[in-house]
Amino acid sequence: MVQTRAETADAYLDTLPPPAEFPDARGRYGRFGGQYAPETLMPALDELETAYHEARNDPAFLRKMGDLRRHYVGRPTPTYHAQALSERLGGAQIWLKREDLAHTGAHKINNALGQGLLAKRMGKPRVIAETGAGQHGVAAATVCAMLGLECIVYMGEVDIARQSLNVFRMKLLGATVVPVSSGSRTLKDALNEAIRDWVTNVRTTYYIIGTVAGMHPYPMIVRDFQAIIGQEARAQLLAQAGRLPDVVLACVGGGSNAMGMFHAFVPDVSVRLIGVEAAGRGIETGAHAASIVAGRVGVLHGSRTYVIQDADGQIMETHSISAGLDYPGVGPELAWLADADHAQYVGITDAEALEALQVLSQAEGIIPALESAHAIAHAIKIAPTLPKEAIIAVCLSGRGDKDMGTVADALGVTLT
C-alpha cells in the first residue's frame, strides 16, 4: 500500500469514496445484502439509488457536504495517541479516532448530514428515522433542524426509558419522537415501524436509516457517508505515527461506525480489521447481540445477513448494556467481510465494556459511549499481547454523556 504523507485528513472532506467492488448491481455483497422489501417500496429504492448516484457526481452537492463537514460537524476529527493508556497496558500503542468530538457527540452525524442533504435534493419535505441509543435520532433531528425538514423519529419504548436524555434532545431540536410498543420495543422494532411509515408515506417521505443495514442501496449509501472516518484516520496515522496501524477496531451493532472506519483499510492487507460485537451477559447465556459471532444467515429488514434467530426463523430478542448495539442483525458488508476473511469478529460482555469505560475515563480523561467502550475493551485485551511498536487504531464512535444513567445504575450509584 502507498504510504504517502501527501494525503492529509481534510483531503477527503469534499469527496465520497469511489465505487467499490461491492455492492454489485443487485445490491449484493457476496451472498449478503439485496432488497427484501415490500413491493410498495421498490420504486422508492430505485429512485433513491438514482438520486444518490447523481448527487455523488455533482460537484455542488459534494462542495456543500464538505463545507458542512468542516464548519458544522467539525471535521476532520482528531486521531489521538492514547499514550497513558498504552503505557499502562504495556503493549501496543492505542490510537483513538475521535468521532466523539463530532457535532452531536457521535459518528452518526456523518450519515445524517449526507442523507439529509440527499432528502433536500430529492425534494422530500418529511424525514423519518429510527433510533436505538438515540444518537442517530439526535443526529437526524439536528440535520433536519438545520435544513428545515420535518423530522419524525421512531424509538422503542425500552430505549426511550434508558435514553431519556437523548429523547429530550430530539424534542428540543424540533423532532417528533414516536414510541414503538411492538415486539421487543427496541431498535429492530423501531426499524419495522419506520419502514411501515415509509410504506405509507413513501411519496413525500425520505427515510434516513441510521446504519449500514436494511435494503440496498442503504448499506452502500451509509457506508459511503461514513467512510470519511477511516479515510481521515488512515491519513492521520500516516502523518502522525508514520505508518499504517496493525489492527483497526470498531464496535458493531448495525455496523455504521465499523464500516466507516474499515472501508479505507480494506485494501491494506497488512491491517487486521476486528469488529467487536456485544456479548451482553455472555454468548453462552443467549442474552447478547453478537449477530456475526453467534447468529445464522437469514433475512432481516430487507437484507440477507447474519441474524440472531430461533430454529423457526423468528428474530430473537437481543441484549446489550448499550442500546446502540442491541440489534439482532448486522450490515451485509460486515457479514461479507467475515466470509471473505477480511475482518474478524469478537464479543465483549457488558461487564468488560463497563470496565473499559472506566479505564479510559481515568487513564485518558475521555468518557466513551458504552458502544465504543466495547471496542476499547478489546483493545485493552489485546494490547498487552502485541509489541510496543504495534499500533491499534480504535474508532471511538461516540461520547459517554448519554450513558451516565445506565453506568451509574450498573455501578450501583444513585444519581439525584
Catalytic residue positions, numbered:
108, 130, 397
Is 125 a residue that touches other proteins (CB under 8 A)?
A: no
Closest Cα to residue 228, out of 256, 267, 207?
A: 256
User: What is the footprint of other proteins within residues 259-288 (CB under 8 A)?
Assistant: 286-287
How far apart are CB 167 and other proteins at their closest, in Å?
22
- Considering the complex, what minimum distance in angstroms separates the CB of residue 50 from other proteins? 12
- Which of 5, 123, 148, 203 contacts other proteins by CB under 8 A? 203
Q: Could you give the CA distance from residue 199 to residue 215 in angstroms, rounded to a whole number? A: 13
Judged by CB under 8 A, the stretch of 72-80, 94-102, 201-209, 398-406 that binds other proteins is: 201-209
Cα 233 from Cα 65, distance rounded (Å): 19
Positions 313 through 342 that interact with other proteins (CB under 8 A): 313-317
* Alpha helix stretches (DSSP H) within 127-226: 135-147, 157-162, 164-172, 187-201, 218-226
Tally of CA atoms within 13 A in the half-sphere of 207 that contains its CB: 31
How near is the Cβ of 200 to other proteins at its closest, in Å?
4
Q: Does 296 bind other proteins (CB under 8 A)?
A: yes
Size (the chain), residues: 416
In the list 64, 70, 81, 196, the residue contacting other proteins (rule: CB under 8 A) is 196
Scan for cell 434532545, then name that residue: 169
SS3 240: helix
- 316 DSSP assignment: P
Least CB distance from residue 327 to other proteins, whole Å?
A: 12
Residue number with CB closer to other proteins (298 or 368): 298
Q: Which three cell numbers stand for residue 361?
A: 475515563
- Cell output for 100: 466523539
Encoded one letter per residue, x for contact with other proteins by CB under 8 A and - for no contact, window 40-69 reads xxxxx-------------------------
Kindly state the cell numbers that stand for 118: 440527499
Q: Which helix (H) or strand (E) holds 382?
A: helix 370-382
Of residues 155 through 194, those in contact with other proteins by CB under 8 A are 182-183, 188-189, 191-192
46 vs 58, beta carbon nearer other proteins: 46
| DSSP reduced 3-state for 375 | helix
- Residue ranges in contact with other proteins by CB under 8 A: 26, 34-44, 182-183, 188-189, 191-192, 195-196, 199-203, 286-287, 296-302, 304, 307, 309-317
